Structure 1
Amino acid sequence: MPELSELIVFALALIAAGVVSGLLAGLFGVGGGAILVPVFYQVYGLLGVSDAVRTHVAVGTSLAIIVPTSIRSFRAHKARGAVDMDVLRGWALSIPVGVVAAALIAAYVSGAELRGIFAVLSMLIAIRMFLNRQSWRLGDDLPKGAINAGAGFGIGLFSGLMGVGGGVLSNLWMTLFGRSVHQSVATASGVGVLISIPGLIGYVWAGWGEPFLPPFSTGFVNWITVALVMPMTLIVAPYGVRLAHALDKRQLEIGFGLFLTVVSIRFFVSLL
C-alpha cells in the first residue's frame, strides 16, 4: 500500500488535472482527456490497479468526467451564438455510433498503436495552426451526406478509444473546410457532449463484471476519481470560454497549436 503522503500528492495532482481540464474544455473546445488519461494511468499504477484494466479505467473515467464539462462548455458557447448547430445535427448519429464502436473494440486494440496515431495527428494539426496556411483546405464549406457522416464516425471512434472529447479531430475537420477557429472551438464543445455520454455508457457496459477493477467502479468508470476531478472541471470551464472569446483568431490558433504539440510529445515519449 502507498503511504498517506503519496496518496495526498496524487489526490492533489488529480484536482490540478481537473482545473487544467476544465480550462482547456472552455478554451479549445476539448474535454481535457488528453491530460486526464495519462494522469489517471499513473495514479492507478500507484494504487496497484491491474495492468489488465488500468488503461481502460483511465479512458472510461475520463469520458465520464467529460460529460458535465462538455455540457457546461457547450451551453456557455451556445449562449454566445458561436455554435454551428447544423453541424452538430449532422453528426448527431454518426459520432455516437463511432463511440459505441470504440467501446466494443477497446479491449482488443493496442494502446501503443493508438497513442502513435494520435501523436502524429496532433502534431500535423499543430503544424497547420502554426503556419496558418489558408491554402491548406479541402473545400470552402463542410461536405454533406455520407462524407460528413463518415468524418463524424471517425471522430467518435478515435476519441472514444483515447478517452478524449473529440475537440482535436472536429477542429481539424471544420478548419480544413474554411470554418473559423472560434466557431470550430465552440462547435467542438457540442461534439464533446455527443462523445462523452455514449462513451460513459459504453465503457460501463464494456467493463461490467470485469475482475481486478479498483474499488467503487462501475465497469471501466471509477467514481472516486470522478468525485475528485469533476467539481474542478465544472468550476473552471466557463473561465476558459471567456478567455477563448477574448483572444483574436491568431492567438487562438497559436494557443491551440501549442496545446497539441504538448499532447503529441507526451504520446511519443510514452511509446519509447
Structure 2
Amino acid sequence: MLAIVGAVVAAIAYGAATVLQAVGVRRLAAAPAGSSLWQRGRAGWLYGVGLALDGGGFLASLAALQTLPLFLVESMLASSVGVTAVLAVLFLGVRLSGREVAALAVVGLGLVLLAASAREGPARTIATSGGWLLLAGSGLVAALFVAGLLDRGRDRSAVVLAVASGLGFGLTGIVARVLHPSNPWWHTVFQPQLWALVVAGAVAVVAYGFALDRGRATSVAAITFATETVIPAAIGLAFLGDGVRSGFPVVAGLGFVAALGGCMALAARAEIEN
C-alpha cells in the first residue's frame, strides 16, 4: 500500500509540475521588457516550484519501484497527464472535451484494474554484467538523441527524439527497479546501473524538450508515453520477476490497455500551451 501511495504521489507531483511550469513560463513571458534578473525570477518562481515537484515525484517513483512491478508504476506515472488535465481545468481555465473526460475515466478504471492484479515484490538481483548492459543501453539512448537532434527533417526528428525520450524514461524506471544500495552505501556510486540512471534520465528530459519544440505536443507525448510504458513493462515481466496475481492476467491486460490508451488520448494535455 505504501508503494502504491508513492506511485500516486509521483503521478500527482509530475502532473502538478507541468501546470506550475506552464504558469511560471506564462508569467515570465508577461514580465516587462528590461526587467532585472531578480524581477524575472520573481515572475517565474512557480517554474522552480514545478522543477522541485519533478524531483520529489522522481524520488517517490524510485521508492514505489522497489516493490511494485514496472507495468503498474510506469502506467501510474503516465497517468500524470490526467492530473495535468484536471488541474488545468481548475487553475488555467482549460475546458475538456467529452472525449477527454471519458479518457480520464478510462485511465482511472485501468489503474484500478492494474493495482488489483499486480503482484508485489522486489525485482530479481542482476549481476554486474547486467549493470554494464544497462549503462550501454543509456549510451544507445544518448546516440539516438544525437541522431534525432542532427536530423534536419523536423517531423522525423521529433519522432526520433520522442522515442529517445521514452526509452530514456523507461530505462530510468528499469534501473530504479533493480538498483539497491551497496554496503557500505557509498559504494553505490560505483554501480554502473546508477550511472545508467543518471545518463538516461538526463537525455530523456532534454530529448523531450527538443521533441516538443520540433513536433506537435499530442504526437510527441503519445510516442513518449507508449515507449516509456510498454517496453519497461515487457522487460520487467520477461526478465526482472515482475508478475501478476494468480487468476488476474486478463484483468492486468485490460487494465494496461485501458490506462495506456486513456493516457494517449489525453496526450495533448502533457504540455500546457503558454
TM > 0.5:
no
Q: TM-score, normalised by structure 1?
A: 0.33
When Rg is computed on C-alpha atoms for both structures, the one with the higher figure is 2
Q: TM-score, normalised by structure 2?
A: 0.33
